[in-house]
Amino acid sequence: MTVVTPAWVRDAVFYQIFPDRFAISDRFGQNGYLPKPNHLQPWGDTPTHHGFQGGDLLGATEKLDYLADLGVNAIYLNPIFASAANHRYHTHDYYTVDPILGGNQAFALFLETAHQRGMRVILDGVFNHASRGFFQFNHLMECGPESPYRDWFHVHGWPVNAFNSQEQPNYDAWWGMHSLPKLNTDNTAVREFLWQVGVHWLERGVDGWRLDVPNEIDDDTFWQEFRRRCKAVNPQAYIVGELWGEAQRWLQGDQFDGQMNYLFARAAFGFFVGEQMDQTDTVRSGYGHIATLTGKQFAAELERLHNQLYHPEIVLAQMNMLGSHDTPRLITVAREDVTAVKLMVLCQMTIAGAPNIYYGDEIGLPGRHDPDCRRAFPWHDQASWNRELLAWYRQCLHLRQQTPALRRGDFQIIYATDHVVVYQRHYQGHTAVIAFNTANHPETITCPATFTGSLPEQLTSSGVALTGGQTYQLSARSAHVWAN
């Protein structure tokens, strides 16, 4: 099978926005936008499971210049459709943007403004389950077994127990949660409905879909048709799945272009933070327990992720992340070790695939288990920002954008010890070599004698060029990048 993934993803740096907590605008109540509802939590309050802080797409539009300056050129939006949940994974209406976010009008403005800046936008597609507020399920609650929509779900008794938490729901629900009835994707009408949702938003200009728990629609033909229809609208549409483990089944070129690369995140924490990790909350998330890795083990995992698991086209389309709305925050797992975080970020920006920054990580926003990892972005408290970390993100993003080998090159490990990992990216005459030392003391590396290039340093404090056969000293807990 020929494997083809969207070319633009190779050059992308994604920024993940959790809409209720990223930015809030004061333009509601004018220009056709309804006033915000009352009883919102104050911006920056401790997040709760059910409280809304009122972030919206107008506010996000106003922050696009900040993202462009950072070096971001693609945005992944957590769900934006009408919902009674602040995270909006409880979808009520797949065709209506939540009014608290500004509705379809605000999203159209956001999309147009992002595209004017050369930014791509992908949406979060939640297709395995809906919500109690979803019209067809509400119809079921009102009409019982006489509802024409009764086979849109897996109902095992009547009346449906949608609210009594003292008893299990008598229909299939995601993780047994009453509020999340699972859709019956064996039903022809349900399949058609979901495929049409995918097409609808692509026709309105979005650049792809991030698919929520797609493995729970355990049906290759469903996703194959989803891909066929999406690519018929836009052959460059990006389809990326939330798949926490190895995903060969879905990454053969006939379903998804890539996965959210939590495999990389686990490995990066294991090497760069190691025994210092705070795993209080990793074990409560999809990360599970993260194993500590030596440099040799980390190098072996990078080699596996790049050159063994997937087709090269898929590797270049992976969404590489160091955290998300479903995990404790990067800075928190690293126990506020900014040096370790900086090394992880440089690695994220220099391996194959598209980096994804979870909003606020670039300023050191902390957070533990959901909902704490979904705090409001502190625009009002810039004194709390880690400016050193923000400058580092900006430097690493710009390095990636300026270096073809980092965006499109192949991948090769060239040196590894317990504390040192060195790898090379090469693309059409452009080469980049990236070296890391996690030890608390200097380490000496030897460039392979077969290396014939002479590369100027790009991100370094030692001021040396790289040539084959020579030895170089890496400072304690440092990194060095050579690129031409």
Among left, alpha and beta (phi > 0; psi -120 to 50; other), residue 398 is alpha
Let me know how many helices (H) and strands (E) the chain has, helices first.
Answer: 14, 17
Three-class SS state of 234: coil
- The residue-averaged pLDDT of 313-323 equals 98
381-398 tens-digit pLDDT: 999 999 999 999 999 999
What is residue 138's predicted lDDT score, i.e. its pLDDT? 97
Whether the Cβ atoms of residue 21 and residue 327 lie closer than 8 Å to each other: no
What is residue 462's predicted lDDT score, i.e. its pLDDT? 56
| 247: confidence class by pLDDT, cuts 50, 70, 90 | very high
184-207 tens-digit pLDDT: 999 999 999 999 999 999 999 999
Q: Please give the single-letter amino acid code of residue 227.
A: R
Whether the Cβ atoms of residue 24 and residue 43 lie closer than 8 Å to each other: yes
Which residues lie closer than 8 Å to 248 by C-beta, 6 or more apart? 309, 310
Which residues lie closer than 8 Å to 221 by C-beta, 6 or more apart? none
Kindly tell me if the per-residue pLDDT of 321 is higher than 80: yes
Kindly tell me if the per-residue pLDDT of 61 is higher than 80: yes
CATH no. of 412-483:
2.60.40.1180
Catalytic positions, written as ranges = 212, 242
Break the chain into its structural domains and give their ranges.
7-128+185-402, 412-483
Three-class SS state of 439: coil
Q: Is the dihedral of CA 133, 136, 139, 143 positive or negative?
A: negative
Mean pLDDT of all residues in the chain? 96
397-410 tens-digit pLDDT: 999 999 999 999 99
Residue 304: φ, ψ to 5°:
-65, -45
- The residue-averaged pLDDT of 454-461 equals 71
Distance CA 145, CA 143 (A): 7
Three-class SS state of 192: helix
Kindly tell me if the per-residue pLDDT of 464 is higher than 80: no
pTM: 0.97
What is residue 460's predicted lDDT score, i.e. its pLDDT? 59
CB atoms within 10 A of CB 314: 23
CATH no. of 7-128+185-402:
3.20.20.80
What is residue 332's predicted lDDT score, i.e. its pLDDT? 98
Kindly tell me if the per-residue pLDDT of 299 is higher than 70: yes
Distance CA 214, CA 127 (A): 8
**DSSP secondary structure, 129-188, as one string:** B--TTSHHHHHHHHHGGG-TTGGGB-B-SSS--SS-TTS--SB-BGGG-TT-BBB-TTSH
What is residue 34's predicted lDDT score, i.e. its pLDDT? 86
| 452: confidence class by pLDDT, cuts 50, 70, 90 | low
Q: Please give the single-letter amino acid code of residue 38.
A: N
Quick one: what percent of the chain has pLDDT higher than 90?
92
- The residue-averaged pLDDT of 314-325 equals 98
What is residue 467's predicted lDDT score, i.e. its pLDDT? 80
Long-range own/partner contacts, residues 192-195 (CB < 8 A, 24 or more apart): 194/127, 194/226, 195/225, 195/226, 195/229
| 461: confidence class by pLDDT, cuts 50, 70, 90 | low
Kindly tell me if the per-residue pLDDT of 41 is higher than 90: yes
